[in-house]
Every structure is written in C-alpha cells, then in structure tokens.
Structure 1
Amino acid sequence: MKKYNLPYINQQTDTVILANGNFPANPLALSILKNCEYLVCCDGATNNLTKSGIDKVPDAIVGDCDSLSEENRRRFDGIIHRIPEQETNDLAKAVHFCVQHGRKRITILGATGKREDHTIANISLLCEYMDSAEVEMVTDYGVFVGTGSGSLFESYAGQQVSLFCIDSCTVTSHNLTYPIENRVFTNWWQATLNESTGNEFQIDTDGRMIIYRAF
C-alpha cells in the first residue's frame, strides 16, 4: 500500500514545476522551490520567478509561450520548449515533458489562484498523471495528491482533510473523524471537510480520487 508523506521545510525535491497561478508565499512552498534539483517553469511563471527576487533560474521553460515576456524569451532562449498544441494546458505539457526526460517525482507549485477555471483544471489533472509519475501539488494552504487504490497518508490529529471523487467510486476511510464506509460519492463536495484523528489515515477506493491535507 502506497504511503503519501507530508512535505516539509528544506525538503530536497527532485523536480519542481512552477505554474502560472499565484506565486508561492508560504515558507514551506518557497523552501521547496529554492531547494529543488530541477526546475521547470510553465512559460508565464518565468515572469513571476524573475520578479520574485529569488536566486533561482529555470532549467527548462515549457508551454505554448503565449505569456512569456519578450525579455525572458531572449534571456532563456536556449531552454525554451515550445509546444503549440492546445489540447492540453501548460501544466500538463510541463508534466509530460518531465516524464519524457525521466523525471517522475514531481512537485507542482503555483497552480492555484487567479482564474478559478485554471485552478479546478490543474487540480483535476493530478489523476491524469498517476500512471506515469508521482506528482503532488503544494499550495500556500495544503497539499493535493491523486490516488486510485488503497493508500496511507501521513497526517496529524486535527488536520483538515478533504476527499474529491473524480470517478463515481466506493470509498472507505480509516482514522478520520467522520467515518466513511463503502460509500459512493457522486459530487465533489460530498466528501470534503473531514479531519484526521492521528498521525496517518487510510483511504480505500476503487476509483480515482484527489486527497487534500491542509497545513
């Protein structure tokens, strides 16, 4: 059974994708950005990074490049990977780029905020990546991961937890304040706003789900 640990300050992360939502402000998220081994920016996120004052430059810039400034287009010309097709968004393009280059342990930052439709799409895409990579999305407020089977989640007593069913699937929980037993959820809101009772909880499911743990 797979276990999903919580991110922590000074975590040495293999690969970070910085998306073009709200730039990270939480100290934990900023620590992950500063300490990653390899950084991929969705094209417009490069503008946010260069304005942030953080001493970090991308190793690759991926996207359709419609929001990359002319200055950064010239500055980073040698690491830009333009993918013009419009069937996927820039975040999905960046994840596929990483997987194609053998980088399959990925933390996504900056994927929420600004336009709500982008936020919803970016979160739901976590379930599309499960078969090809280990991907987590860290925000200023918590962490999202996708799962499709029985899984353990590192936690702590009182941590706020929400479950989102992408598929209509059967769910059973262990160590949550409001127990779930062989329940089928048909809408995203139905399994939200729960709480962990200890240092880990377990979710058993036969379909794709997104698990959120608040900081």
Structure 2
Amino acid sequence: MSSHHIVRTDQEPALIIANGQSCSNELLGQLLEWSPLVVVLDSAIQRVIDLNIKVDVLLGDFDRDFDPAFYEQQQFPLEIVYTPNQDKTDLEKAFDYLIDRKIPAVNVVWATGRRADHSITNMTNIVRYRNKLKIVILDDYSKIFLLQPDFKKWYTANSILSLIPVGTVTGITSNNLTYELNDDTLIMGYRTGSSNSVKEDGIVSIEHKSGDLLLMECED
C-alpha cells in the first residue's frame, strides 16, 4: 500500500489506526489519501509498517519491552508520543493528543472486531469527546458517529441505519425511515433502533431531545 497525503491541511480529518480487526486495503487507502496526519497506536505499528504505510505519529505506553526507536529509524521523520497513563486506553490518549493539537476531526480504523470489550469501549467512548473532537469509527461494514440533536442527511432507499443509545435517549423523532420514531425513548440494553432502513431516496432527519445517540450506517 502506498504512503498517504494528497492534502496537508488540518481542515481534513486526521486518521488513527488502532489495533482491532483490519479493514480492507480499499477503505484504508481512501482514508490515507485525504488524511493530513496519521497516528498509529504502538500495538498496531508493525502491522501498519507491513502494509508500507507512512506514519506521522507513534503513540502509546510502550510496555512489554517495546522499543519506539526501532520504528523511528524506519519511519523518519516520526513523532514519538509516550503516554504512560494507565487510566485511559491508548485510543483515548490519541484523542487527547489531537485535541491538544487543536485538530477538530478524526477518522478511526481497526477499532472494532477482535476483542468485544475493546470494540464496545471504543464505540461508546465517542460520547466523552462530543464537545472536543468529531470522531467517526469505520470498518468494512459500518460507519459510526455521534448524532447532533438535529441531524439531516441524504441517503439512498434501503440504506441500513441503526440508532444505538449510549444510556437513555429521549424525544427521538425521525422522518423517512421504514420504522419511524415519534417522540420515542431508546435505552441501551432494553430498546435500541438497530437495523432500521431508509424508506426512499432523499433526506433522512433524526431529532432527539436528550442523551447520546450513535448512528451506524451499515452494510451487510
């Protein structure tokens, strides 16, 4: 796989490569092409190098006799960011790093699959950064992001959309979904909006009054 960067401006989302299930080279290549900054977690760096990807930042706690200098020689110039805080995951530390650099948005790959606990934590942690960083998690089957209270977007008919509450979400009203919501409440573990779909080509609107609501654009 080729290196990255058509653009070199922080107006485009950065890219974080975590250490879950790999995505397709096609998806990864599309994201790399437009990412001004590529951050890789230490647990994934060898997998990334094996794909011949140029990395900008290597971040992690560097435990288990991990030697970042070895990768610095292979990826020069490479910024090494040591984050020993054990109260946060490496992905959370990468979010904090981007916030400190005043980068407003990030795409994340390899953050789902493999260990279920990591996948759930990575997806639900989006809400912790709602006012600091726009986060989108992608894999070959889903695009996951946090909805603003008033969301509108154009979709083709039959597109699969899942509404997943993180906790309790109230006052949800939709338009142009197969199974409409009308001032409804969704509660994680009790009632979710999984596997809904778009009724017809056009704008889908989803409003909610309180709570944190994830939208998952899904493909089988």
TM-score, normalised with respect to structure 1: 0.85
When residues 199 and 64 of structure 1 are mapped into structure 2, their CA distance, relative to the original with a 3 A threshold, is farther
Q: Deviations over 1:65-84 (max 9, x none)?
A: 236854x5422275221111
Is the Cα contact below 8 Å between 1:104 and 1:133 reproduced in 2?
yes
Per-residue deviation, 1:41: 0.7
Q: Cα RMSD (Å) of the superposition?
A: 2.2
2:63 aligned residue: 66
Aligned counterpart, 1:158: 158
SS of the aligned residue for 1:166 comes to strand
**1:153–1:126 distance in 2 versus 1, CA, 3 Å:** farther
Mean CA deviation greater in 165-174 or 183-192? 183-192
Secondary structure of 1:87's aligned partner: coil
Question: 1:91–1:122: 8 Å Cα contact kept in structure 2?
Answer: yes
- Indicate the SS of the match to 1:95: helix
Greater C-alpha radius of gyration: 2
State the identity as a percent.
Answer: 22
1:62·1:82 contact (CA, 8 Å) conserved in 2?
A: yes
Distance (whole Å) between structure 2 residues aligned to residue 76 and residue 204 of structure 1:
47
Which of 198, 208, 214 is 1:210 aligned to?
A: 214
Match of 2:195 in 1: 193
Greater mean deviation of Cα atoms: 10-19 or 163-172: 10-19
Cα shift at 1:154: 3.7
Q: Which amino acid aligns with 1:168?
A: T
How many Å apart are 1:105 and its aligned residue?
Answer: 1.6
Per-residue Cα deviation, 1:26-68 (whole angstroms, up to 9, x for no partner): 523432124422100111121110112x3x2211111222368
Retained in 1: the 8 A contact 2:167–2:188?
no
* Higher RCO (CA-CA < 8 Å; seq separation 6+): 1
Contact 1:173 1:181 in 2 (8 A): yes
What's the CA shift for 1:199? Answer: 3.3
User: Deviation digits for residues 126-156 of structure 1, max 9, x if unmatched?
Assistant: 1112100111111111200012411123422
Equivalences, count: 203
Q: Distance in 2 between matches of 1:59 and 1:86?
A: 23
1:17 and 1:41 in contact (8 A); partners too: yes
Give the letter aligned to residue 211 of structure 2.
Answer: G
Letter in 2 for 1:44: S
Cα distance change on mapping 1:214 and 1:199 into 2, 3 Å: farther
SS in 2 for 1:137: strand
TM-fit CA distance, 1:114 = 0.9
Structure 2: gaps (5+ residues): none
